[in-house]
Structure 1
């Protein structure tokens, strides 16, 4: 079972992305309490998304 499904079963709202650029688009619309990133995402990796995502949150 995926982490997302476990969170959803515990009544948490989950937003997914399959690529780093898609994750950044989601950051613009959703202010997450928790972010789980894959360091092997296509395009931007998890480390790059984290850095850029923090800047978007400012």
Structure 2
């Protein structure tokens, strides 16, 4: 039984971390999360650049 649990846990990690998902644009969940951070950061930077001239 312990071996079966370990195999399921290993599969869950692989599925949730390393396997591409079509609903995520064929990215792995990890790549999707990293891209979301980049998008959020660049979006915030673009907004700052749009309004920063008010402060300087």
TM-score (normalizing by structure 1): 0.31
Point out the structure with max Rg over C-alpha: 2
Query: When you count helix as a share of all residues, which structure comes out higher?
Result: 2
Taking CA–CA contacts closer than 8 Å with sequence separation of 6 or more, which of the two structures ends up with the larger relative contact order?
Answer: 1
TM-score (normalizing by structure 2): 0.32
